[in-house]
Structure 1
């Protein structure tokens, strides 16, 4: 099975698209923000932790990119609205949202199924699904309020572990599946054709040729830059599998 034709040999052109990357305190979010910064995007580096957001923004500006730090609790509707309103008031628009935010699970969510406490399970699922809902919903509102194209990209995959072993816990696999299902449904729910919603699934191994409908990409960078560009309307609702890069930890 051949990778999807994203023209990985063609250097991406520089642009002035404004992208909000959530969760830059985690390796995937930090890597996504730095990658988009090097490809000409104006980056809003979001974190629950101010030091992490400021560090990633500093990293991007240090290599000649443009970046601003932002802090908000994405599980709280008012905080999400404040984040987007602040960006809109300062920049006038948001072109792209890359949602990589992740909250460490309660005490027992990393354990086997029979050992997970119901209260931990409820808190974990509620926090992540609420964060996903509020962020994507507000991003859609921001992009729909103007006559411009917009792109929302969620990131799921094998590197989301507490131990860094590359083996996802049960709770994280469930959330990743929910994120994929939500973004696919959201893509079908959008009435404005200029908005696109997609997911990048990080995998240790590329899918087998036995699954011909699977969309695969040469690498994470290629998938990210391609989907972050709001111009690819025909790709809305897709899940693209990309080989998991070795993301460096945020310092």
Structure 2
């Protein structure tokens, strides 16, 4: 791979598995020093060890991204270790699927806090370092569910909110040479989509096959395919792209 992220320092949240882990591996593979952030410090360390075993530079951090003080401490620790912060990938997220009429308020609150408020906290903590450096790349994870998805009123609202957050931060941070974009994956084969399959009473393989039949490319996506787009948006190849949400969904409408 290239070294287009040589000398860059990146934070990736929710990086212990799925799209987050794939993104951490991709950025490290192209030369970035990566802070692998997840709620579970041991799982963060395991992903970081995997990256180091492949010749990359990574450190695992345990952080509850729904706690603004913990987020600020984590970001400051990364900057203290590496001297800078160039890239932030806000990937941490959860699902608590339910129909509107039986969704507990706690499930609404937890999904909005984890999937949307956490991005606000991370962006707010990161921007002071990026503004001072007059450089930064922020990539937020939205979802095709932002367009509406039965049983996901909380998740859909949060992921739609991510797109508004992204567009607004691009306006506010643009004058400081900071690009802010989002990606909106469709069906990607991850632990999260496997859990969704289980929720609706299907085996993950059958659920994927059903999703593939509704997708023009006739297959579901892989985490690495999302990571490659995130890497593009986090690179100087996308230097004049900001405020955008790019759907990664195999052509589905």
- Tell me if 1:150 matches 2:127: no
Q: Distance in 2 between matches of 1:146 and 1:222?
A: 25
Match of residue 225, structure 1, among 201, 225, 231: 231
Q: Distance in 2 between matches of 1:190 and 1:97?
A: 14
Per-residue CA deviation, residues 61-113 of structure 1 (Å, 9 max, x unaligned), is 111111111111111121111111111111110010111011454xxxx1111
Q: CA deviation at 1:124?
A: 3.0
Can you give the 5+ residue segments of structure 2 that lack an aligned partner in the other structure?
Answer: 188-214, 218-224
Match of residue 103, structure 2, among 97, 107, 116: 116
Match of residue 172, structure 2, among 183, 189, 204: 189
Contact 2:93 2:115 in 1 (8 A): yes
Q: Distance in 2 between matches of 1:38 and 1:120?
A: 37
> Which structure is richer in relative contact order (CA contacts within 8 A, separation 6 or more)?
1
SS of 2:175's equivalent in the other structure is: coil
Match of residue 126, structure 2, among 125, 130, 139: 139
SS of 2:28's equivalent in the other structure is: helix
Select the structure that is richer in helix: 2
Match of residue 175, structure 1, among 141, 150, 158: 158
Matches within 5 A, 1:1-251: 12-14=2-4, 15-105=6-96, 110-147=97-134, 149-157=135-143, 169-190=152-173, 192-204=175-187, 205=215, 219-230=225-236, 232-243=238-249
Change (3 A) 1:203 1:103: closer
- TM-score, normalized by length of structure 1? 0.76
Q: Distance in 1 between matches of 2:236 and 2:11?
A: 13
Can you give the 5+ residue segments of structure 1 that lack an aligned partner in the other structure?
Answer: 1-10, 160-165, 208-218, 245-251
- Farther off after superposition, 119-128 or 182-191: 119-128
The Cα RMSD (Å) is: 2.6
Contact 1:23 1:102 in 2 (8 A): yes
Change (3 A) 1:55 1:168: farther
- TM-score, normalized by length of structure 2? 0.75
Q: CA deviation at 1:168?
A: 7.5
SS of 2:133's equivalent in the other structure is: coil
Q: Distance in 1 between matches of 2:216 and 2:241?
A: 20
SS of 2:93's equivalent in the other structure is: coil
